[in-house]
Amino acid sequence: MTQILHCTVNVHENVSRRASLADSRASRTHTRHALQVDGQRMREMFEQAPGFMTVLRGPDHVFDLANNAYYQLVGHREIIGKPVREALPELAGQGFYELLDQVYATGEPFIGRAMPIQFQSRPGAALETKHIDFVYQAMVDDDGAVTGLFVQGHDVSEAHALAQQVSYQATHDTLTGLGNRRKFEQELEVAVHHSSEEPTGYALLYLDLDQFKVVNDTCGHAAGDELLRRVAKAMREELGNHGTLARLGGDEFALLLEGCSLECGRQWAEALRQCVADIDFVWGSRRFGGSISVGVVAFGGERISTEEILGTADSACFLAKEKGRNRVHVHSADDDELTSRLREMDWVSRLRQAMDEQRLVLYAQEIAPLQDDAQPLARQEILVRLLDTDGAMVPPMAFIPAAERYSVMPTIDRYVVRAAFRHYMALDADQRKSRYYSINLSGTTLNDDTFVSFIEQEVADQGIPARRFCFEITETAAIANLTRTASVVHALREIGFRFALDDFGSGMSSFSYLKHLPVDFIKIDGEFIRNILNDEVDRAVVRSITDVAHTMGIRTVAEFVDNDTVAALLRDLGVDFAQGFGIHKPEPIERSTRGT
């Protein structure tokens, strides 16, 4: 019996042992299969990764592995088993060999952003410049010794080119190719600072085309644009490499000359006046002669602001026009300064009188919804005009510069806000339910410590529903004192007012301001809308602004929309609202309260 039991136990042990061995073999088989599957997946991921990857072995950086994206980057040449210096000889002198050596020697990674690198698409071909983001990362063994390098990254050439184009557009006039007002004022500020520190003389020329309006009115804006291009080209050719020439806007140009005296500035002004006078401009059956008025100012050695310099040159140009056009006026303290002061102070007194007599008139322009999910409100931006004593309606740009220069804008802004509130409260109940107004605020008003309390008092006195109003502030005014602006925005939003950031997108750092300003709307700069039908970069910028805004819960408004085709494109790009002459031409606010 004992033997039988012993045999039975042995049998069971043998069966159990065989079962265990079988399980072990199955487990190893399963593990090998899993490793094969994982390895295959890793190889597929490595090969199909959107970014380029390669593994370099040893101090000579021998190619061990490379994925498809890397082969595309270097031109599908034979590289595996070759050192970098042999496989990619065109990198010599570009610093990349040295970077590889540095990372291998130190074990410290290197990160490159949009670095220019020249490759050959094939051996012997011409070098092509690409911009790449990449990381060089050391690989180490169990003892911590560096055995090779892992390289990964992305070809960002297209994104870099787009960024360069957008940056160029932010600082250059799209019509003439000259620097724009923002860029010129930045360079002028540098020159003013430099001239106050070093004995360097500068001359500033302010140039304004004569009778430009005649060309626009008789032949259309296409003719006016072509004349501006011709004038810009003629002045560039006359100047050669001398000075910084810019288009400030409209038919106004400016030239900054370093190391130039007042007499030197006068000579250049005469040369430019003559070169424009020599232009024989023909459009259709009409022939126009070129003519330009120039104001000249010199500065250096004294402390003076860019606003004063530019304003003085502008005034000198104005005097040249007043004296008959097609001439040069050189600034002198005994006549120009006095004339300039009298002219602008006259505007200040006229503005104060107009406000006392209620002759600042409110106009309104519709802001139309482009998307189906927009609230059914009649949205309008409130604009201001001056009704002169002779009955003529004066546009804002005729008096706003003087108002800003002499700090009258806070008074005008309060006048407009109070008048807009009264207009709203005078509407019938049904109109008030469907009406939504936007009001512009100047930079000086944002810096007025008493403005928030003024608004609070007006809301209390008139019973205004703050949610029916939006304050618009320009990007330039907002960033001039970002902390102060953010404080005003926060305070008024707590009451219920909405905010819009106007002229958005004129600088590459525009998006960063949104993190600090809790705005509800972004008004996309009209410079990106004017040529959006024909300019891919403009479309890309508008799409990017819209995408970022929507991500942040901000709605977008496109300005300068002049026809239905542009509006349709903006709708497709996701823009929420449109504003411009193609949507609605500004009209007296009383006349605009229709359809509600």
Residue with token string 């008493």? 450
Q: Are residues 306 and 452 in the same domain?
A: no
Report the largest interatomic distance among the alpha carbons of the chain, rounded to a whole angstrom: 138
**In this structure, are 217 and 190 located in the same domain?**
yes
What pLDDT score does 15 carry? 46
Q: 66 and 80 in contact (C-beta within 8 Å)? A: yes
Give me the amino acid identity at 341.
R
**Among 155, 179, 199, residue at a domain's last position:** 155
The CATH number assigned to the domain holding 181 equals 3.30.70.270
In whole angstroms, give the CA distance from residue 269 to residue 262.
Answer: 10
Is residue 3 domain-resident? no
d(CA 131, CA 154): 9
Domain span at residue 304?
170-331
Q: Is residue 96 in some structural domain? A: yes
In a domain, 17, yes or no: no
Does residue 14 sit within a domain? no
Q: Are 440 and 429 in contact (CB under 8 A)?
A: no
Do 479 and 411 share a structural domain? yes
Residue 454 makes CB contacts below 8 A (sequence gap 6+) with 414, 417
E strands present in 37-126: 52-57, 62-66, 110-120
pTM of the model: 0.48
In this structure, are 436 and 553 located in the same domain? yes
Say how far apart CA 105 and CA 107 lie, in whole Å: 6
Mark whether 487 and 560 lie in a shared domain.
yes
Bin 505: left if φ > 0, else alpha if -120 < ψ < 50, else beta. Answer: left
Whether residues 286 and 396 share a domain: the answer is no
Is 387 in the same domain as 502? yes
Q: Assess whether 100 and 150 both reside in one domain.
A: yes
Q: Is 386 exposed, middle or buried (0-12, 13-18, 19+ CB in 10 A)?
A: buried
Asked whether residue 326 is assigned to any structural domain, the reply reads: yes
Q: Which CATH number characterizes residue 94's domain?
A: 3.30.450.20
Give yes or no for a contact between 181 and 248, defined as CB atoms under 8 angstroms apart: yes
Residues of the chain where predicted confidence (pLDDT) is lower than 50: 1-9, 11, 15, 30-31, 33-35, 338, 508, 595-596
Do 490 and 540 have their domain in common?
yes
CB-based burial label for 347 (10 Å; 0-12, 13-18, 19+): buried
Count CB neighbours of 272 within 10 A. 24
What is the pLDDT at residue 157?
85
User: And the tokens for 104?
Assistant: 């291998």
Question: CA-based Rg of the chain, rounded to a whole angstrom?
Answer: 34
Residue 31 and residue 35: Cα distance in Å, rounded? 6
Residues near 329 by beta carbon (within 8 Å), at least 6 away in sequence: 293, 294, 295, 296, 316, 317, 319, 320, 323, 336
Indicate the number of domains in the chain: 3
- Residue 490 has what pLDDT? 93
